[in-house]
Amino acid sequence: MVPDLATRVGSVSLPNPVMTASGTAGHGAELGAFGPLDRLGAVVVKSLSARPWDGNPAPRVREVAAGMLNSVGLQGPGLPAWLDHDLPDLVAAGARVVVSIWGRTVDDYAAAAALLADAPRAGAGGGAGTGRAGAGKAGGGGGLVAVEVNVSCPNVEDRSRMFAHSPSATAEAVDAAGAAGLARWAKLSPNVADVTEIAGAALSAGAEALTLVNTLLGLAVDLDSRRPALGAGGGGLSGPAVHPVAVRAVWDCRRAFPDAGIVGVGGVFGPQDAVELLLAGADAVQVGTATFRDPRAPWKVLDGLRRWCRRHRVAAVADLVGQAQA
């Protein structure tokens, strides 16, 4: 039996449910040295703003017992430079691209999205259709398939409160991202009392999918200097410790929004982690921190998922989605 791995995230059809996670695979085709990018469901690039951004002071990453802390601070070349220098390589590699955008004001999100309005789209079949039912066929040819709206950023219009901590601010950012003319996925923070409240606001503002979840807030102290280990103080915790948090967020949001697209991300190190997120309700998954340990991790998860489905006689991966809630 050859399992059908095709899936659909909102209106976006993908050949399989395994993607990279934003911030862990570079801005362009860097990961292509370790595997064919067109084999992955999609490549999610590091978050970009309308303008270049220097990021946070070093040190920026620290390994901890349950994963890693990072405080890179959204460093990036800005979307104009990315469109000129990085996107062409992704298109040439046949990658389906999800471009992650961020901003410090609502106008920042609108400006970033507007820059994507004329960017090349993936081949026919990469975005048509509605709803979760039926995975359909994914089209060939590299290019953009969706914009992931990273709302885990300080909102300077609201006393630097994070967009993702406010339903109204999240809705405003997602609405502004509509200028891209792409399917909108809202990447949400787990550092809230009720992620479904924020998710509902994002969906009401035009998001057709939720990416669950971003990093948890964390901090490590260097015992020699007796100061915070990262240059900016605290950072975001990712890796195995985050996985149960992601599973819970996916579970809660699938139950609250049965027709929404959902992408599960957090601690996916092997096929069993991907399957758990799918069973909880995710349509697709992203592989992030595992890539720092092994740059071939996304392909290993994909191949392992195929073997898992064959071994458990799962004919179509879409049949797994939300099965634990049945």
Catalytic residues: 153
Full DSSP string of 116-133 = TTTSPBPSTTSS---SSS
Return the structure tokens found at 176. Answer: 């502004």
Question: How far apart are the C-alpha atoms of 63 and 204, rounded to whole Å?
Answer: 38
Strands 18-20 vs 284-287: parallel, antiparallel or unpaired = parallel
N- to C-terminal Cα separation, the chain: 25
Residue type, 212: L
Residues 6+ apart with CB under 8 A from 130: 10, 11
Question: How far apart are the C-alpha atoms of 321 and 254, rounded to whole Å?
Answer: 10
Q: Are 216 and 190 in contact (CB under 8 A)?
A: yes
Question: How far apart are the C-alpha atoms of 22 and 41, rounded to whole Å?
Answer: 14
Return the structure tokens found at 118. Answer: 């004329």
Q: Are 25 and 291 in contact (CB under 8 A)?
A: yes
Give rounded-to-5 percent helix, strand, coil for the chain: 35, 25, 40
